[in-house]
Amino acid sequence: MKLFDVYPLYDVEPVNAYDCIVVDKNGIEYLDLYGGHAVISIGHSHPHYAKRLKEQIEKIGFYSNAVQNSMQSQLAQKLGKLSGYEDYQLFLCNSGAEANENALKLASFHTGKSRIVAFNNAFHGRTSAAVAATDNAKINAPINKQQEVTFLPLNDIDLVKDELQKGDVCAVIIEPIQGVGGLDEGETTFFQQLETLCHEFGVVLILDEVQSGYGRTGKFFAHQYHGITPDIISIAKGMGNGFPVGGIMIAPHIKPKHGMLGTTFGGNHLACTAALAVLEVLEAENLMDNARLTGEYFMSLANKIPGVQTIKGKGLMLGLEFDFEVGDLRKKLIYDQHIFTGGAMNKKLLRILPPLNIGKKEIDQFIKALQNVLIVEKV
Ligand SMILES: Cc1ncc(COP(=O)(O)O)c(C=O)c1O
């Protein structure tokens, strides 16, 4: 059997990784400024994480959600405390799309309505309602198009009001900083007015923190820069440092019913161990502060890079917008300079999503490599 060929692949095969470094099968070391798409939060193969997972798998790796698993409550408590949402409720699943799927479904159960408001250039995943709320016709199959979704531009609150007052909207879903779309973000007044309108019209406000959460922007959640309190927050990526785990954090006024949501694998013992180990390291190593400070350091140097038009993002969720498409630049960075970076829907944007323990030395290495490629080779 062959693989179903859906991914355009770089010709690199990582077989080993540590800290901010990925090692390929020929022993070449790459600086990881991509984090496997914002997934590696505490660094590759972190010793505490590896030890916790090894110890857990020797005890029990999985049992179903039909029996008690107190590790889920331990995780809920620790996550509530570190994120500032101690009175919220946690539902665990396995990926970002699944988190948003459950968030939208819950909003629909809660309100009895079905239309979604989402934003231009949004990315929320590839499953049913999540992909319908994703602004990319190419990845929406005919079966997904039966969902009712209205896409609006960021920062136009009057258009949001026009839609919400029609009375049929269950949820507004928004990324605090767009990831795949290319690092655009709403203004603080927009987020605050959005929150007010959602309360006024009984619409569930979902903040998709799948990429921007877990300390990546320097606060636990990126929406915390705007002083808002969403009804549902979706999480995944950095949550498990590579172990597939996702979830939704749900405000106390949304009440659960048995059978309303469910999953076979979600919240299993290994997933909880990975997620707890991530929070333990995030706290012990002050990685949120590191993300903020290293991000500021990056910003202070990035304007010295030739061809950079705009620097976008916060903390270690960053984008450099050039005056040319960055596809060739990314290839040169990988093959010649041995540095992984990310792309976006915006083809002129280079995305920087490193592990949160990255330091100034690695940022200096990247800036130098980028200058070499841009000045010497004139991409
Ligand atoms: C903001 C956001 N939401 C949802 C997803 C989907 O997550 P997953 O690929 O784990 O399903 C992504 C993935 O890139 C994302 O960036």
Helix (H) or strand (E) holding 350: strand 349-352
- Count of domains for the chain: 2
Cα distance between the two ends of the chain: 39
Last residue of a domain, one of 245, 262, 284: 284
Query: Ligand 1, from 211, 216, 221: best to mutate by most atoms within 8 Å of Cβ?
Result: 211
| Residue 5 within a domain | no
Query: Ligand 1, from 94, 124, 207: best to mutate by most atoms within 8 Å of Cβ?
Result: 124
Pocket lining: 96 vs ligand 1, CB cutoff 6 Å: yes
Q: Which of 196, 131, 145, 198 is nearest to 170 (CA)?
A: 198
Four-residue CA torsion sign, 195, 226, 96, 179 = positive
| Residue 207 within a domain | yes
Cα gap 15→26, rounded to integer Å: 9
- Ligand 1 centroid from CA 97, angstroms: 6
| Residue 8 within a domain | no
- Ligand 1 centroid from CA 377, angstroms: 34
- Ligand 1 centroid from CA 179, angstroms: 9
Pocket lining: 180 vs ligand 1, CB cutoff 6 Å: yes
Pocket lining: 276 vs ligand 1, CB cutoff 6 Å: no
- Ligand 1 centroid from CA 374, angstroms: 31
Let me know whether 308 and 253 are in one domain. Answer: no
The amino acid occupying position 228 is I
The answer to whether the beta carbons of residues 96 and 256 sit under 8 Å apart is no
Residue 156's alpha-carbon distances to 187, 297, 313, in angstroms, are: 10, 32, 20
pLDDT along the chain (379 residues), means of 10: 96 97 98 97 98 98 96 98 98 98 98 98 98 97 95 98 98 98 97 98 98 98 98 98 98 98 98 98 98 97 89 97 95 97 95 98 96 73
| Atom 9 in ligand 1: residue holding the nearest Cα | 96
Let me know whether 149 and 193 are in one domain. Answer: yes
| Residue 9 within a domain | no
Let me know whether 109 and 160 are in one domain. Answer: yes
Pocket lining: 125 vs ligand 1, CB cutoff 6 Å: yes
In this structure, how many other beta carbons lie within 10 angstroms of the beta carbon of residue 234? 30
Cα gap 317→216, rounded to integer Å: 6
Q: Which of 68, 101, 83, 20 is nearest to 230 (CA)?
A: 83
Residue ranges making up the domain that contains 21: 14-46+286-376
pLDDT at residue number 306: 84
Q: Using alpha carbons only, give the angle 249, 266, 122 rounded to the nearest 5 degrees.
A: 55
Pocket lining: 123 vs ligand 1, CB cutoff 6 Å: yes
Which tokens sit at 231? 């009804």
Let me know whether 141 and 188 are in one domain. Answer: yes
The answer to whether the beta carbons of residues 124 and 208 sit under 8 Å apart is yes
Let me know whether 269 and 131 are in one domain. Answer: yes
Let me know whether 219 and 265 are in one domain. Answer: yes
| Atom 10 in ligand 1: residue holding the nearest Cα | 96
The 8 Å CB, 24+ separation contacts for 55-58 are 56/269, 56/270, 56/273, 57/270
Last residue of a domain, one of 265, 284, 303: 284
Q: Residue 4 — φ and ψ, nearest 5°?
A: -75, 115
Let me know whether 131 and 20 are in one domain. Answer: no
Let me know whether 41 and 53 are in one domain. Answer: no
Last residue of a domain, one of 225, 258, 284: 284
| Residue 60 within a domain | yes
Let me know whether 264 and 322 are in one domain. Answer: no
pLDDT at residue number 73: 98
Ligand 1 atom, smallest distance to 37 CA: 14
- Ligand 1 centroid from CA 269, angstroms: 23
Residue 169 belongs to domain with CATH number? 3.40.640.10
| Atom 4 in ligand 1: residue holding the nearest Cα | 124
| Residue 2 within a domain | no
Residue 318 belongs to domain with CATH number? 3.90.1150.10
| Residue 315 within a domain | yes
Let me know whether 152 and 113 are in one domain. Answer: yes
Let me know whether 81 and 196 are in one domain. Answer: yes
| Atom 3 in ligand 1: residue holding the nearest Cα | 124
| Residue 1 within a domain | no
Which tokens sit at 322? 């050039």
What's 375's DSSP letter?
I
The answer to whether the beta carbons of residues 49 and 241 sit under 8 Å apart is yes
How would you class 99 by CB atoms within 10 Å of its CB: exposed for 0-12, middle for 13-18, buried for 19 or more? Answer: buried
Parallel, antiparallel, or unpaired: how do β-strands 204-208 and 169-174 relate? parallel
Which tokens sit at 303? 């304007």
Ligand 1 atom, smallest distance to 122 CA: 1
Let me know whether 139 and 238 are in one domain. Answer: yes
